[in-house]
Amino acid sequence: MIRLLLVILIALIIGTGLSLGLQYDLGYIRISLGNYLVETNFWVGLALLVVVIALILFCIGTLRRIRQGSGLLATWVSRGNERRARRRTTQGLLALAEGNWPRARKMLTSSASHADTPLINYLAAAQAAFECGDHDAVDELLRQAFESTPGSDMAVGLTQAQLQLAGNRLEQALATLVRLRKQSPRHPFVLRLLKNTYLRLEDWRELARLLPELRKRHVLPETELHELQRLVWHNLLEKAAEDIRRDQNDNPNTTLEPLTRLWDELPGFLRKDEATIENYARLLADLGDEAQTETLLRKVLHNHWSDHLVNLYGRIEGREPDEQLLTAEQWLKDRPNNAELLLALGRLSLRNQLWGKAREYFEASLKLRRSREALAELSRLCAHMGDEETSARLMMQGLATDNGLPQLPMPKA
């Protein structure tokens, strides 16, 4: 109500002013432009000026409303594209989960440009392209993924490495992972993938260099890490022995230094590991250094008993076979009922040409456990001692045991 009264009051004042102005003087305005001449009084000219200004303001307002309308239209279109992109992304991810790789790739790629997270679209589309076997498309989609989202190089690189490993492109995967490790040396997943790559490439030396970092970053459970260490050092020892054996064919005087140096580099727990010790001892013996093998096994068996190692101890020849036999007989005092030790003592007695003692040891071992090795050794010894009947009987027993023959009635001779 107050506003209405103010408008009426202002209109009355303006009307009164105009009325007084018209009565006072009409004025005169003349405008000349080329051959055109416009003449009018002041008040008509003022009215025309007001009309022109009003028209200009009206045009400006109209243009502004049109532009705002275009922005609203663009926003509406953009929101529609985003809704369709979300719907197609969901359909693409469902197709990926269902194993429909071509549809997944099509849906995810087409919706990536309008998706909220284009990185997810491109990475999932790369997975679908990989399943389709199109490796060129995989590389292109990963490039688009990298370009779509700043700071995504690690995520893209890890996806690329996993797809390369899955496609058995081991050299490319290694190059990708080495680059990622330079960017993030402590990244646990990069280290895990590197471990898998070196393992599949059988690059035992690089894997050995990686082991301390795997332990430090707790990438693997302790038991799995120990098994990996055993595998790595076992293969390194085998590789060193293979190289020495090849060199010995050309130069019989080749030393075993590369193998013994590796033994010195082994982690402490592996130098006490029975399987690792046995593997190293067999390699030494196979390469001709049975004396060093005997020294190693004697020291180990003195502190840690092992039936596997004592069996190996009976197979090798030390520098002094008589001392070797005496050492094993000392062990027998503490283990009088150990079949493996008795078998080893029988073999050591043979090395010392103590035929009767060897036979006694073999027979004692067989009484405790009828093993194929003890049967074969006793059979061979009896044959050389002229006891053909016992040798043949033992041989038949060994054959029956080896082939798992059942107990069946037999004719009497």
- Mean pLDDT of the residues in the chain: 85
Give tens-digit pLDDT for 41-54. 665 666 666 777 77
Is pLDDT at 200 greater than 70 in this prediction? yes
What's the residue count for the chain? 413
Question: Where is the domain boundary, 166, 189, 220?
Answer: 220
pLDDT higher than threshold 80 for residue 19? no
Nearest to 95, CA basis, from 85, 84, 86, 106: 106
342 is a domain residue: no
In a domain, 183, yes or no: yes
Q: Is residue 340 part of a domain?
A: no
Q: Say what the pLDDT of residue 97 is.
A: 87
Give a yes or no: residue 176 inside a domain. Answer: yes
Is residue 329 predicted with pLDDT exceeding 70? yes
pLDDT at position 77, please? 47
Q: What is the pLDDT of residue 76?
A: 47
Q: Which domain holds residue 56?
A: 24-79
pLDDT: which is higher, 103 or 39: 103
Asked whether residue 243 is domain-assigned, the answer is no
Specify the pTM. Answer: 0.70
In this predicted structure, the answer to whether residue 4 has a pLDDT above a threshold of 90 is no
Question: Burial of 105 by CB count in 10 Å (0-12 exposed, 13-18 middle, 19+ buried)?
Answer: buried
Residue 256 is given by DSSP the state S
The residue type at 186: R
Tell me whether residue 55 is in a domain: yes
Specify if 159 maps to a domain. Answer: yes
Least confidently predicted of 167-171, 213-217, 245-249: 245-249
Instruction: Please say if the pLDDT value at position 261 is more than 80.
Output: yes
CATH of the domain at 155: 1.25.40.10
- pLDDT class of 408 with cuts at 50, 70, 90: low
Measured distance CA(87)–CA(92) in Å, rounded? 9
The count of structural domains within the chain is 2
Q: Can you give the pLDDT at residue 400?
A: 66
Q: What is the pLDDT of residue 18?
A: 56
Long-range contacts of 401-408 (CB under 8 A, 24+ apart): 401/370, 401/372, 401/375, 402/372
Question: CA 306, CA 299: separation in Å to the nearest integer?
Answer: 12
Among 214, 212, 210, residue whose Cα is nearest residue 267: 212
Alpha-carbon span 171 to 199, nearest angstrom: 12
In a domain, 157, yes or no: yes
> What is the per-residue pLDDT for 96?
85
State residue 353's pLDDT score. 93
Q: Give the number of other CB atoms < 10 A from CB of residue 13.
A: 10
Mean pLDDT calculated for residue range 166-173: 93
**8 Å CB contact between 375 and 346:** no
pLDDT band for position 393 (cuts 50, 70, 90): confident
- Other C-beta atoms lying within 10 Å of the C-beta of residue 204: 19
Instruction: Tell me how far apart the alpha carbons of residues 131 and 116 are, in angstroms, rounded to a whole number.
Output: 25
- In tens, the pLDDT along 211-238 reads 999 999 999 999 999 999 999 999 999 9
Helix (H, G, I), strand (E, B) or coil at 39: strand
